[in-house]
Amino acid sequence: MTTHQVYVYGELARRSTLLQVIGREPIGVKATLRGYELALDPDIDYYVAVRKEGGSIEGKLLTGITDAEMRALDEFEGASENLFERVIVEVDVEGGKTRAYLYVKHL
């Protein structure tokens, strides 16, 4: 079975949201996303990750995410409505760097 890693911050970093969206709280470790910063999006009244040289966002790296859970996260983030898109980024974790999915607002 294929599993994925997803970098989250904000709403998806909350246990209650993960339980609601995917039905469990996956293993999460502290991670830093470099080259992005949080910006308040007035259209949705939430903070979103935007590219910013020198920026960084503290969040979590969720591991062991199944294909079905990825579809549920896509739905939560509005990927099918082109609100957000899933991109691959590199995040810093204890012991090095790893690649993970990140949801960014579709521009």
What domains can be seen in the chain, in order of their start residue? Answer: 3-105 (3.10.490.10)
Nearest one of 59, 54, 48, 50 to 34, comparing CA atoms: 54
Q: Are 84 and 106 in contact (CB under 8 A)?
A: yes
| Count of C-beta atoms within a 10 Å radius of residue 7 | 28
For tokens 């898109």, the residue is 85
**And the tokens for 75?**
């739905």
Task: Please report, to the nearest 10 degrees, the dihedral formed by the alpha carbons of residues 21, 26, 17, 23 taken in order.
Answer: 40
Per-residue pLDDT of the chain (107 residues; tens, 9 = 90+): 799 999 999 999 999 999 999 999 999 999 999 999 999 999 889 899 999 999 999 999 999 999 999 999 999 999 888 889 999 999 999 999 999 999 998 76
Q: What is the pTM of this model?
A: 0.94
